[in-house]
A and B are shown apart, each in its own frame.
Chain A
Amino acid sequence: MIESLKKLGTARELLVTLTLRDIRVRYKQSILGIAWAILQPLSLMLVFTVFASLTGLSSGDKGIPYPIFVYCAVLPWTFFATAVRFAVPSLVTNHNLVTKTYFPREVMPMASIGACFVDFLVASVIFVGMMVFYRIPLRPTVLLVPVILTVQIVLTLAIALVGSAMNVFYRDIRYAIPLALQIWLFASPVMYSVDRVPQSFRWIYFTNPMAAIINAYREVILRGRLPDANLLLSSTAIAVGAAIVGYAIFKRMEMKFADVI
């Protein structure tokens, strides 16, 4: 495993190059270009806001208007979902590279995540604008955002590694993914606040690491509070554990990629 990580280290420039390639290719012959990165979470936010006003759903907190409440979650969620959606088929899509050249294959799903991360950064600009618009004060707890983001990325990596490796052997995984993500979206406190989850269900609810992560974002950015340490820690443990196991699985399956793809 250490050997693999060392090899991965030597391939870091390749990772950057492939990430850039993914980004360039995605927006090359398009009119809106990188604006699509903003459009996706923004439109999701608008849809949810309309839905919320029709059904009486609210942020549960008088001081926080629903649009920014929901966008605060939609933004990292979109990063997570699109990263998984692009990373899982990434090896099969690049099968000519896999069968003709050698490089640590995990670079492929990682590059997809990297490209989506850039989209996320671009869409964050809108969020900053919204913070100003809704006059949400900037609190010191915001400094914890990079920490929470790291946990999210580790979790994304775990799913991307296992998913992309399995997709090489079982092609329908890439179709199962959007379905799973839809369900996962509703199982996470994106559209609604965690407070709406009945106490008796909370312990099952929080086995979903994204639940604690999304909630943590809201706590530190919108409410200026520290997130629940236990929840965040357990989610971190799940994410890190999954990433280590996922990487080990990936490296074992890697040897067969070129033969099967």
Chain B
Amino acid sequence: MNIDTCENHGNSEETYAIRFENVSKRYRLKNRRSLSLYHTFGDLFRRAKDRLLGRTSDENHFHALKDVSFQVRKGEVLGIIGPNGAGKSTTLKLLSHVTVPTEGTIDINGKVAALIEVGAGFHAELTGRENIFLNAAILGLRRAEVEKRFDEIVHFAGLERFIDTPVKRYSSGMYARLGFSVAAHVDADILLVDEVLSVGDANFQVKCFNRMQEIRRSGKTIVIVSHNLSNIKKYCDRCILLRNGEIAAAGDVDHVVAEYHRHLREANERSAETQSDTDKPIRITGVRLIDSTGEPRMEFETGEQAYLLLDYEAKERITDPAFGVSIRSADGAYLSGITTKMRGDVIDSLDQIGTITFRLDPITLFEGTYSLTAWAFNGQTRENYDYHFAACHLAVVGPPANGSEFSGYSCLPHRWFHNNEPVGNGDVWMAPADVRSEQAEHEETVHQ
């Protein structure tokens, strides 16, 4: 185990800011019991035995990272993407020296400021002003420098009025803005950002983007971990895809994102035939995502139609069979759950083998990857027969419009009017296909 963090080497030959070489990180799974001598000795013996036999079996250890190697050049912006549990947060923790690798070497040239969880170090009882000084000190800024930048920090966060109230009174948005603002003004050569770019409203996001560009122009190195692929595309020069603790792809951002999508597509193909116990009354035997032409597809654009097909096998006659589909964002937010019983409808009867289709029309989701969960249940007793979590993935690609003029997960169907006149060229976007075709007909007749 060898950690070599050379801070401010002043070595101009070093073009690398970060270098990971064969880094592995393992956690023991068994919970260490507190101060019980009997267990402590038992543990000691077990650990010694494991080490002697070179045993780091999967059942005893969780391998967060397995033999990971990569480099980040000075002034580069690297993005790290991957599904949950892939090892992204562990990588950030290793980069910020919060923890040390079990194996391998980490080489860091320069001072590191990490923004892992906004407002780390904030104390609820202290005021915003006091917390700025505290947080900046934790991030390594000298007091004199904080005083110089104080007004800038407060202004960036937009908290002039509230800077002297205890932060326990802040809304979560204010909290996040303050935290990001402090970190954005810190003097570090390397900035680590974990999923915090998604805080704040669209206005603040634009400010963040500009600030990140400034930091980038001044030659600093940035590492961003995010589920938000459009942010990754916006900010990053290079990208790494982590899966199960290993690097699955690295290089150009578009290439890596495409790789990520490819993995998801393969996962979708696998779930076209799902596994489940054969003695369930209703069994979902396959979950497939296709487009309006019937082709299996994973990537859609906002506004298109997607069809989720649930292939089922029904063993017995059930009076009130029902199905449900839910959508979660890549970072786990539960966006929507809809069942066939939502409007009290009843499915008359199920065939022995058949297909239930969920048509998502239009797709109102913004760019990103989403997971679809499907389940079958009894409409009367609400008993779940078959539940498939994240059975399928859906990727929404290509911003529908100006990338910084929207935020959040979903575009609600809408139209803008000014003094009763529609804003824009009048095409109806984000409305169900039936309405769209009606509208198109109507406008045709109007223009004739």
Contact = CB atoms under 8 A, between A and B. Distances in A.
Interface of A: 13-14, 17-18, 21, 24-25, 28-29, 96-103, 169-173, 255, 258-260
B121 interface: yes
Interface of B: 27, 32, 34-35, 93, 96-100, 112, 114, 116-117, 120-121, 123, 125-126, 130, 133-134, 137-140, 142-143
Contact of A99 (B34, B35, B98, B142): B98
Contacts of B125: 24-25, 28-29
A17 B116 CA distance: 21
Contacts, number: 73
Question: Which are the 7 A-B pairs with shortest beta-carbon distances?
Answer: A100-B120, A17-B137, A170-B35, A102-B97, A258-B99, A255-B100, A14-B137
Given A25-B123, A25-B126, 5 more contacts: A18-B134, A24-B126, A100-B121, A101-B121, A172-B34
Contacts of B139: 101
B108 to A, nearest CB: 11
Nearest to A15: B137
Nearest to A259: B99
B99 to A, nearest CB: 4
B133 A17 contact: yes
A172 B125 CA distance: 27
Nearest to A173: B35
A102 B100 contact: no
Contacts of B99: 255, 258-259
A103 B97 CA distance: 9
Contact of A101 (B114, B133, B143): B114
A76 to B, nearest CB: 29
Contact of B130 (A24, A101, A255): A24
5 contacts: A24-B125, A99-B98, A102-B97, A170-B35, A171-B34
Nearest to B35: A170
B116 A100 contact: yes
Given A17-B133, A17-B134, A258-B93, A97 B126 contact: no
Contact of A97 (B27, B32, B120): B120
Nearest to B124: A25
Given A13-B137, A14-B137, A25-B123, A259 B27 contact: yes
B35 A172 contact: yes
Nearest to B99: A258
Contacts of A258: 93, 98-99
B45 to A, nearest CB: 18
Contact of A102 (B114, B123, B133, B143): B114
Contact of B143 (A13, A18, A96, A170): A13
Given A170-B34, A173-B35, A103 B138 contact: yes
A258 B34 CA distance: 17
A97 B35 contact: no
A170 B137 CA distance: 29
Contacts of B143: 13, 17
Nearest to A102: B97
Nearest to B135: A101
